[in-house]
Structure 1
Amino acid sequence: MRAIVVRTFGEPGVLEVAELPAPEPAAGQVRIKVAAASVNPVDLATRSGALSAFLPELPAYPLGWDVAGTVDAIGDGVADLAPGTEVIGLSDWFATLSGTHAEYVVLPAGAVTAAPAGVAPELAATLPLNGLTALQALDLLDLSAGQTLAVTGAAGAVGGFAVELAARRGITVLGVAGPADRAFVSGAGATPVSRGDDVAGTLRALAPGGVDAVFDTALIGADALAAVRDGGRYVGVFGPAAPGTERGIDVQAVSVHSDAGQLAELVFQVETGALTLRLARTLALADAAEAHTLVAKGGLRGRVVLTP
Structure 2
Amino acid sequence: MLAAVVNGFGGPERLELAEVPVPRPAAGQVRIRVVAAGLNPVDAGVRAGIFGGAGQRLGLGWDVAGQIDETGPEVTGWSRGDRVVGLHHGTVKPLGTHAEYAVLDATAVAAAPTAADDLAAASLPLAGLTAARAVEQLGLAPGASVLVTGAAGVVGGMAVQLATRAGLVVTALAGPGDEELVRSLGAAAFVPRGGAPAGPVDGVLDAAVLGGAALAPVRDGGVYVGLIPHHAPAAERGIRVEEQEVAADGELLAHLVSLVEEGALTLRVADVFPLAEVAKAHDRLATPGVRGRIILTA
TM-score by length of 1: 0.94
Q: 2:21 corresponds to which letter in structure 1?
A: P
Residue number in structure 2 paired with 1:148: 145
Q: Is the 8 A contact 2:176 2:193 kept in 1?
A: no
Matched position secondary structure for 1:286: helix
Residue number in structure 2 paired with 1:16: 16
Residue number in structure 2 paired with 1:71: 68
Matched position secondary structure for 2:294: strand
Residue number in structure 2 paired with 1:187: 184
Deviation at 1:179, TM superposition (A): 2.0
Moved over 2 A (4+): 94-98, 191-197
Residue number in structure 1 paired with 2:288: 298
Separation in structure 1 between the aligned mates of residue 79 and residue 45 of structure 2, nearest angstrom = 35
Aligned residues: 298
Deviation at 1:248, TM superposition (A): 1.1
CA offsets, 1:169-204, max 9 Å, x none?
Answer: 11100010112111111111113423343x4xx21x
Q: 1:33 corresponds to which letter in structure 2?
A: R
CA offsets, 1:2-43, max 9 Å, x none?
Answer: 000000100101100001111111111000000000100000
Return 235-244 or 272-281, whichever deviates more: 235-244
Residue number in structure 2 paired with 1:139: 136
Q: Is the 8 A contact 1:32 1:69 kept in 2?
A: yes
- Superposed counterparts of 1:1-308, under 5 Å: 1-52=1-52, 55=53, 57-94=54-91, 98-197=95-194, 199=195, 202-203=196-197, 205=198, 207=199, 210-308=200-298
Q: 1:301 corresponds to which letter in structure 2?
A: R
Over the matched positions of the two proteins, sequence identity in percent amounts to: 49
Separation in structure 1 between the aligned mates of residue 245 and residue 138 of structure 2, nearest angstrom = 13
Separation in structure 2 between the aligned mates of residue 80 and residue 131 of structure 1, nearest angstrom = 23
Matched position secondary structure for 1:241: coil
Segments of structure 1 that go 5 or more residues without pairing to the other structure are none
Separation in structure 2 between the aligned mates of residue 128 and residue 262 of structure 1, nearest angstrom = 10
Matched position secondary structure for 2:230: helix
Segments of structure 2 that go 5 or more residues without pairing to the other structure are none
CA offsets, 1:261-306, max 9 Å, x none?
Answer: 1000000000000011000111000111110111111211111100
